[in-house]
Structure 1
Amino acid sequence: MKFFRLISIVEGISLVTLLFVAMPLRTYADMPLAVTYVGWVHGILFIVYGATSLIASHLSGWPVWKWLLVLFLGVVPFGFLYVDHLIRREIPNASAARTA
């Protein structure tokens, strides 16, 4: 679950970078390669995010709607912050279940 949390944060930062740094650079500074490079990185990270979200949902026993919500939040700017909140809320429950 910690790996999925890390991937979620990195993918979210790449989306925000693409939308709020690379795209304005392309439009206002005539630097189209910014979108090309950041877009490639973001695309690869989103594929990894989708795969790890599926694995995390299976290991955590999430219902399908929760997995779809987490997957949808991967394309929403700053949605990764809510996903991080969901994961952090779930981690203490998992550690408490192991100690009991």
Structure 2
Amino acid sequence: MLKTFRISAILEGISYLLLFSFSMPLKYWANITEPNIYIGYVHGFLFIAYIILAVFFAVDKKIAPKKGIMLVLASLLPFGTFYMDRHYLKPLSAS
């Protein structure tokens, strides 16, 4: 479960950054909308998968509600999932 959740966190973070740093500028500055559509679909799927996995992970590992909320909120911030992976999930995989 931990490995799957870590992979989903990294993929969700990458899709979030691609959406805001690549496809959104193309859409609004160059009027090229196609990349935004496809990257948006992928990001939407990965975001929902991340949220579902975060809830299941928190319940499975009996994580405190405050940390569980932090796992979910990390997906709303740029680089948030990378931060959570490095400072919270990676140490769990070492033990």
Query: Above 0.5 in TM-score?
Result: yes
- Amino acid corresponding to residue 59 of structure 2 in structure 1: H
User: CA offsets per residue over residues 30-65 of structure 1, 9 Å max, x none?
Assistant: 111221111111011111001111111112110111
2:94 corresponds to 1:92 = yes
- Identity, % of aligned pairs? 30
Please report the RMSD computed on the Cα atoms of aligned residues, expressed in angstroms. Answer: 0.9
Distance 1:3 1:90 in 2: 13
- Amino acid corresponding to residue 73 of structure 1 in structure 2: A
Distance 1:33 1:72 in 2: 28
User: CA offsets per residue over residues 12-38 of structure 1, 9 Å max, x none?
Assistant: 000000000000111122111221111
Structure 2 unaligned segments of length 5 or more: list them: none
Aligned to 1:82: 83
2:8 corresponds to 1:7 = yes
Structure 1 unaligned segments of length 5 or more: list them: 94-100
Query: Which 4+ stretches in 1 moved above 3 angstroms?
Result: none
Distance 2:60 2:93 in 1: 13
Tell which structure's C-alpha radius of gyration is larger. Answer: 1
Distance 2:56 2:18 in 1: 26
Aligned to 1:28: 29
Distance 1:81 1:8 in 2: 7
Secondary structure of the corresponding residue to residue 42 of structure 1: helix
The worse-fitting range, judged by mean Cα deviation, of 35-44 and 11-20 is 35-44
Q: What is the TM-score with the length of structure 1 in the denominator?
A: 0.88
